[in-house]
Amino acid sequence: MHLTDRLTRMLLGAMTLGAVLVPATVAAAEPPGPGDLTTPTTDPCGPDGCLPPEPEPEPECPPFVATCDDLTSNPCDPVEEDCSPDPEPCPQDADADCPDPNPAPEPEPEVGPDPEPVDPSVPADPNFTG
């Protein structure tokens, strides 16, 4: 085979392969024609007058659960969580002072009790200056 023939065949083969690999061109959308309605052209008010506009539905709040790691407020459904730190665990050492989880309230200032009544069963013999 002559060199010219071989080159010709290779060239033809490459052209055939390129025709297969080239993607098909998508046809461009055609612009809307006069029959396509993109805006209402009819009168919204009927013969009985205009209807009141329908109320807009309230936006639905997505489910929200705040966590102590993410306290992002949710105006729709605020969630309050107790994010106080967990109490320190009491050490296992029996001799250690473990804080009382329910401490007693502070005592009120000492206020005198009612007067101590005199015990009449033990009569006294005063010797005051009469």
Question: Hey, what are 107's tokens?
Answer: 């005592």
Least Å distance, CB 125 to another protein, is 8
How many Cα atoms are found within 13 Å in the side-chain-facing hemisphere of 77?
A: 8
Q: What is the CA radius of gyration of the chain?
A: 48
CA 72 to chain centre: 6
Residues 6+ apart with CB under 8 A from 29: none
Q: Is residue 27 involved in binding another protein (CB under 8 A)? A: no
Please pick, from the candidates 1, 24, 104, 111, the single residue that binds another protein as defined by CB under 8 A. Answer: 111
Are 66 and 74 in contact, with CB atoms under 8 Å apart? Answer: yes
Please pick, from the candidates 54, 82, 106, 116, the single residue that binds another protein as defined by CB under 8 A. Answer: 116
Least Å distance, CB 124 to another protein, is 4
User: Which residue type occupies 20?
Assistant: V
The partner residues of 49 in beta bridges, in order of sequence, read 46
Least Å distance, CB 114 to another protein, is 5
Least Å distance, CB 111 to another protein, is 5
Q: Is residue 107 involved in binding another protein (CB under 8 A)? A: no
Q: Is residue 1 involved in binding another protein (CB under 8 A)? A: no
- Sites of contact with another protein (CB under 8 A): 109-120, 122-130
